[in-house]
Amino acid sequence: MIESCGIAEARRIWNDSDMVAESLCVACLFEGEVALRHRLDLADMFGARTLVLITGGFEDLAATGYSGGIEHARSLLIDRLGAAAELAADHRVRLAFEPLHPMVCGFRSVVSSLGEALDILDQLDDGHDIGLAIDAYALWWEHDLQAKLMRAGDRILNYHVSDWLSDTRDLRLDRGMPGDGQIALRDWRRMIEAAGYLGPVEVEIFSRDRWWKTPAKSMTAVILERMNACF
């Protein structure tokens, strides 16, 4: 959205909005250093608290000429995350690494669980400051979530909610409104607060064919009603 309206115009709109930027979404590790630095600069420009970082999909890596298998792609991540942390060190924004649902492994993220994300972050050198963006939509299926969220602890920087529709029609752009699907968001709230996260809850509803066609004002009213009911 920033790029499509132009950075100068986006800044003018933003500065007049009186809103706070919890995060800028999204930077992809596989896009390389130039793209990441651009996102970091943008995040600072808009005063974002975090920059959400995903790996990018396996196909993004293949497009750069990469010919290894997926396990080898995953083995690159520690070095790349370390380099990203070093790039971010001279920016105000903090990096929040977001594991995504296995169904988007091919085109969004080769890290598909919180357990895997934690194992990777644990191998980073001390002083490499990368936290986590936790998305209930991406992780609702995972086993032992409470234990893993406790392990994540103060590394949790962002918390995203929406709902999983049982008859979802798109791998990415058919998220449900809280309360319309299968995610136990009250249980999630209890778990994430027990893990120590008391920050904002970000409602993230990618819904190309339904909610994005609803006027923003009425959609916002439904979000408020549902968050009051589900939380």
Closest alpha carbon to 74 in 86, 65, 63, 66: 66
Nearest to 33 by CA among 71, 72, 81: 81
The verdict on 135 binding Zn ion (CB under 5 A) reads yes
Tell the smallest beta-carbon distance from residue 206 to Zn ion (Å).
9
Size of the site for Zn ion (CB under 5 A): 3
CA distance 70 to 58: 7
Cα–Cα distances in angstroms (integers) from residue 230 to residues 147, 160, 194, in the given order: 22, 14, 17
Query: Which of 22, 135 has the CB closer to Zn ion?
Result: 135
Quick check: 160 binds Zn ion (CB under 5 A)? yes
Beta 156-161 vs 201-203: how paired, if at all? parallel
Binding mask 55-94 for Zn ion (x = CB under 5 A): ----------------------------------------
Stretch that binds Zn ion, among 63-71, 79-87, 156-164, 221-229 (CB under 5 A): 156-164
**Closest distance to Zn ion from the beta carbon of 138 (Å):** 6
**Interaction with Zn ion in 201-220: which residues (CB under 5 A)?**
204
Structure tokens at 79: 């070095």
* Contact footprint for Zn ion (CB under 5 A): 135, 160, 204
